[in-house]
Chains A and B, each alone.
Chain A
């Protein structure tokens, strides 16, 4: 399941709901991405993410489908915020449930690498030194390349 939303979310509550009643899974893995208060020493007061409604959800849904084909997971959840996000707030939450831990770990790792480099969001950091657009860095592309070809 995926959700792209402007509303803040509580990662602990998402994880509790995702894990509840899973008698068929031995493993639940989750990742939460938080907005940092500084990037490379530059203070960040707000992180603003733009989405492209319709296109963004479709691209993330494709990633979820490909993760399900690639790993033996029983369930996946991806929640991603857009709009203005303050330091310390959660930007993204990804959880995977599987019979065994390796598939759950790898599915979440894979989805985060895809999201960092291919999810249709455009990020701008605002701080006392002005605004700057954040694009994927070389290590992000290197991380994503670990999974190719599909």
Chain B
């Protein structure tokens, strides 16, 4: 089973995609960022930009959690409703 990766907001424009499956599954969130940055340097830089957060299985994360097959990872630029 693969990893599901979602990009929100301006990250979608930077990468040119909004959702993809990734295999093999990187061991950690930072390893996932490295994989994405190797494929697309502009996206790699954007993922480390000011205020970009990550959610694993729809819960905001801090630090560098381990990832497993079937996880859904979303990268979230600064949020704004209203």
Contacts and interface: CB of A to CB of B under 8 A. Distances in A.
**What is the interface of chain B mostly: helix, strand, loop, or mixed?**
loop
A80 B80 CA distance: 12
B5 interface: no
* Chain B interface residue bracket vs A: 10 to 19
Interface in B25-82: 51, 55, 58, 74, 76-82
A121 B55 contact: no
B78 A135 contact: yes
A115 B82 contact: yes
B22 interface: no
Contacts of A116: 80-82
B10 interface: yes
A122 B82 contact: no
Given A55-B74, A115-B82, A122 B55 contact: no
A46 interface: no
Contacts of A55: 55, 58, 74
A115 B77 CA distance: 15
Interface residues of A, number: 28
A124 B81 CA distance: 11
A92 interface: yes
Given A92-B81, A116-B81, A119-B82, A52 B76 contact: yes
Nearest to A60: B81
A118 B77 CA distance: 11
Contact of A91 (B13, B51, B78, B82): B82
B58 A122 contact: no
Contact of A117 (B8, B74, B77, B79): B79
A52 B82 contact: no
Given A54-B58, A55-B55, A55-B58, A121 B81 contact: yes
Contacts of A122: 8-10, 77, 79-80
A119 B58 CA distance: 14
Q: Which 10 A-B pairs have the closest CB atoms?
A: A119-B81, A122-B9, A115-B81, A133-B10, A116-B82, A135-B78, A55-B58, A121-B81, A115-B82, A136-B80
